[in-house]
Structure 1
């Protein structure tokens, strides 16, 4: 796993003969050539482009469809690495990779399931045409099963892929919610490893977007507490996605909706950390408050009643670093834009109460 070595091997001209082995060789030679191309395409965009230009994609898809067990596994892995490239995604899809990858996802070995989920996740990344090309009934259920009962790597890849399928696609969000993905994703959010928590939060953020039924399920399944834990103490990637989830759950989709976002619970917790948390807690709480303030006016009202204005002003003026100050200022701007003249009146009324509490 060394980027410099990959680049050196490529410069020495290793890729064309490796692709030749993939096209026509004994099973053993073929298997290790596929494995080598997978390793060379990891974290190396130039190698991905060269491998595709040398004509590797079509034989790799054929191996996923009809190779030996090991060939299928490593071909799926290599296609997943190649699919980080936008042009390669299209080529892989046009070569018919989706159907055999889905077959591996459904009935392959444990390793085949992991790498087919990985490949399908990268194929569906930021490409709605490819998302729509996947048969939802065939793809989503086995992914949900991997999140629920798979190995740690399988859970991570399945969560990532579900998030990509849900991004910018209302039908996929509906189907993912109906297939029962929300509860196991929330469980992963609370008890998974760091990568699993990150991708579970990402998936939930995508699934919640513009989908009232999914938002209500998330709240009913107890998503708020693990989200708050990530917002305040997660990795940077986890915090970003957790704030996205909170914002998407809180956003008003339908003015006549009966769904009630637990604003008081969330905002009160954030306010507590804004008052007495660590420097990092204060900055992260301010970011979350800004996102919630952007979602709807009711959230702004809850923040003002809980004394957010003077606390955010203090953070913007006296924060210990630029991140804190900018976070406080951005949250204030959202409250100010939402309430206009009421902002000044509320600030004056609540300042001493909030600071003294």
Structure 2
């Protein structure tokens, strides 16, 4: 971790690991456990935090720009003063600038993290918004993101070079997407990242909020993640109410609904089967999943990834 990053996040240990702000999963327990382990915990909402803090709240809070009104978000930010404001998924890229300006007025001490998925957008956002961190989301990330995308092994180095070339060397880069353990952390750092964001890995933690226990089991039983998950709009279309702008799709388990649709089942039939499945006690995650890690406490995951990353980085250095 560079001295600049260490100065900006003095509570964090090196290498810096942040938990993703995951809708429906990232609760106060998860964010707190990550932060206590020397990482940076992030929430997508802070409804469960009841009192305002006189100083900066030592976690990050993320906002899906297309889904939240700016006025409502600023009211929350002004009350709680999160250490980090994470901006992602605007309906229009220009919303990043509008939000960044409003956040700086409401919470001058808060750091601004902006999530993007291409070098071109990173450069435009760097120029317009001057974020503290650019989260470069690779195509292997779970959940939603803009498409098309690329892997972090190519995305992060190219972004770092472009930012440095254009005079934005003080903007930090965090890598996100496909990082599941310390080896992935080490690889991201070697590519030029200042830190990493992990989301899916924390779905196997004991602190994460789960829609159903069968969901956790489905995550734990997954293997060969590169081919047992897929990116598609169909995951959002299954509910019959896709709220996401057209430039975003999502990566999820390639379960029965996805396989049905890809084999020629009509969307209407796939939606009907999905609707029936989610009425069951397992919420669609039991049996054939319609909606290969060990379950561990959140803090232990952070520490284990950090130690393994150091081990592999030391191994690389010794091999030179």
Higher helix share: 1
Higher strand share: 2
TM-score by length of 1: 0.24
Q: Which has the larger radius of gyration?
A: 1
Tell me which of the two structures has the higher relative contact order, counting C-alpha pairs closer than 8 angstroms and 6 or more residues apart. Answer: 2
TM-score by length of 2: 0.27
